[in-house]
Structure 1
Amino acid sequence: MRLPVRVAWCIFLACAGMAAPARAERTEVEVRVLARGAKFLGGYTAPVRVVLSDADTGEILVRGQTSGTTGDTRIIMAAGASPGAKRSTADSALFRTTLDLDRPRRVTASVTGPLSQPQAITTATSTQWILPGRHLTTGDGWLLELPGLIVDLASPVAYPWFKTGTNVPVRVGVTMLCGCTISVQGPWRVDETDVELHVTVEGGAPRRYPLRFDPDSGLFGADIPVEQPGLHELEVRAWMGSSNNAGVARTAFFAQ
Structure 2
Amino acid sequence: MRISISALLCLSTALAAMAGQATAQPTKVEVRVIARGAKFLGGYTASTRVVLTDAETGEILAQGQTSGTTGETRRIMVEANVPGEKRSTEDSAVFRATLDIDHPRRVTLSVTGPLSQPQATTTATSTQWILPGHDLTAGDGWLMELPGLIVGLTQPAAYQWVKAGTTVPLRANVTMLCGCAISEGGTWAASDVAVEAYVTVDGAALGSVALRFDPKSAMFDASLPTAAPGLYEVEVRAWMGKTNNAGIARTAFFVH
TM-score (norm 1): 0.92
Whichever residue aligns with residue 146 of structure 1, its letter is L
Distance 1:237 1:206 in 2: 16
1:50 equivalenced with 2:50 (yes/no): yes
| Alpha-carbon separation, structure 2, partners of 1:51 and 1:223 | 43
Contact persistence 1:45–1:178 (CA under 8 A) = no
Q: Larger deviation: 16-25 or 132-141?
A: 16-25
2:81 equivalent in structure 1: 81
Task: Name the amino acid aligned to 2:213.
Answer: F
CA distance in 2: counterparts of 1:11 and 1:230, whole angstroms: 81
Backbone CA RMSD of aligned residues: 2.1
1:152-177 deviation per Cα after TM superposition (whole angstroms, max 9, x unaligned): 00011110111111100010000000
Q: TM-score, normalised by structure 2?
A: 0.92
Q: How many pairs are equivalent?
A: 251
Deviation sequence 1:179-238 (CA, Å, 0-9, x none): 000001111010100000000011112411000011111110111100110000000000
1:114 alignment counterpart: 114
**Contact 2:235–2:250 (CA under 8 A) maintained in structure 1:** yes
Q: Which residue of 2 aligns with 1:151?
A: 151
Structure 1 residue aligned with 2:26: 26
Per-residue deviation, 1:85: 2.9
- The alpha carbon displacement at 1:20 in A equals 4.2
| Aligned twin of 1:215 | 215
- Work out the percentage of aligned pairs sharing the same amino acid: 64
2:147–2:177 CA contact under 8 A, matched in 1:
yes
Deviations 1:26-65 (A, max 9, x none): 1010000000000001127941000000011111111100
1:44, 1:229 → 2: CA distance? 44
CA distance in 1, matches of 2:28, 2:39: 23
| Alignment of structure 1 residues 1-256 onto 2, 5 Å | 17-18=15-16, 20-22=18-20, 23-43=23-43, 46-79=46-79, 81-256=81-256
- Residues 200 and 206 of structure 1 are in contact (CA less than 8 Å); yes or no, is this contact kept in structure 2? yes
Shift of 1:15: 7.5
- Structure 1 residue runs of 5 or longer lacking an equivalent are none
Deviations 1:71-90 (A, max 9, x none): 00000002453455310011
Ranges in structure 2 where 5+ consecutive residues have no aligned partner: none
